[in-house]
């Protein structure tokens, strides 16, 4: 194959680069199991709700909190104690390198960020290496408030990762450390999120 001296080799797409770009980030098995369990809980919760077309609180961008049986959800997640510290919790942390903060029900995104940072910087200092925030909403303004804290933790080797969940799928949203996500588009994970499209197409 003839060589092109003026070609920008950095801009070339090789098969290896394409395959690498298609790879999704590695997630711990316990996290994937947790996500699936929370999605089942969300679907169960929604199936019991009566949402009218005129419910502005639901269809607007307001501060509506995803309601559900949080005590029931917590009871289903006792298995997680052997894998990661689940927050918030009335119990003392087990001392795992991984922690999970649930930004659901009464815990909104801003409070979840505060819990995650407090745990990583204070209560879990010395052993916590990564905190997963899992929630059904995300607010840029609240993220920017905590960016200095996130960067300080990253400099100490502690990661903060955020997963945005719906009953039909989920995606990871980069938080505070742009370099990690450079060139990596967000990928929506989960097969159920296409169910509505398939039904509309008559499949």
Q: What is the pLDDT of residues 11-60, one digit of tens each?
A: 556 666 555 555 555 799 999 999 999 998 888 877 765 454 444 444 44
Binned at pLDDT 50, 70 and 90, residue 4 comes out as low
Report for 41-45, 56-60, 144-148, 192-196: range of highest mean pLDDT? 144-148
8 Å CB contact between 65 and 57: no
**Mean of pLDDT values over 161-188:** 74
Angle at 61 between CA 60 and CA 63, to 5 degrees: 110
Higher pLDDT, 129 or 70: 129
**16 inside domain:** no
- What b/e sequence results for 185-203 when a residue is b if at least 16 CB atoms lie within 10 Å of its CB, and e otherwise? eeeebbeeeeeeeeeeeee
Tokens representing residue 3 in the block: 């060589």
- The CA distance from 161 to 133, in Å, is 6
**170 inside domain:** yes
8 Å CB contact between 121 and 92: no
- The CA distance from 149 to 104, in Å, is 22
What is the predicted pLDDT for the residue at 62?
46
What is the predicted pLDDT for the residue at 174?
86
What is the predicted pLDDT for the residue at 70?
72
**6 inside domain:** no
**9 inside domain:** no
**2 inside domain:** no
- The CA distance from 37 to 77, in Å, is 8
Report the mean per-residue pLDDT for the chain. 75
**189 inside domain:** yes
**178 inside domain:** yes
Say how many domains are in the chain: 1
**17 inside domain:** no
Q: Is the dihedral of CA 82, 87, 92, 98 positive or negative?
A: positive
- The CA distance from 36 to 33, in Å, is 5
**Residue span of the structural domain in which 114 resides:** 25-48+57-200
Higher pLDDT, 168 or 176: 168
């Amino acid at each position: 194959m003839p060589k092109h001296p003026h070609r920008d080799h950095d801009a070339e797409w090789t098969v290896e680069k394409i395959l690498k770009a298609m790879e999704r980030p590695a997630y711990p098995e316990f996290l994937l199991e947790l996500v699936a369990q929370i999605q089942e809980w969300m679907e169960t919760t929604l199936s019991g709700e009566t949402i009218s077309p005129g419910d502005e609180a639901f269809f607007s961008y307001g501060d509506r909190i995803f309601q559900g049986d949080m005590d029931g959800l917590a009871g289903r997640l006792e298995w997680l104690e052997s894998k990661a510290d689940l927050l918030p919790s009335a119990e003392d942390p087990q001392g795992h390198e991984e922690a999970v903060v649930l930004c659901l029900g009464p815990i909104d995104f801003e409070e979840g960020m505060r819990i995650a940072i407090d745990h990583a910087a204070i209560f879990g200092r010395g052993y916590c290496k990564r905190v997963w925030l899992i929630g059904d909403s995300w607010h840029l303004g609240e993220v920017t408030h905590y960016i200095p804290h996130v960067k300080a933790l990253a400099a100490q080797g502690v990661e903060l990762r955020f997963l945005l969940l719906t009953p039909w799928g989920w995606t990871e949203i980069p938080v505070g450390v742009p370099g990690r996500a450079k060139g990596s588009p967000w990928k929506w994970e989960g097969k159920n999120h296409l169910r509505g499209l398939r039904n509309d197409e008559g499949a």
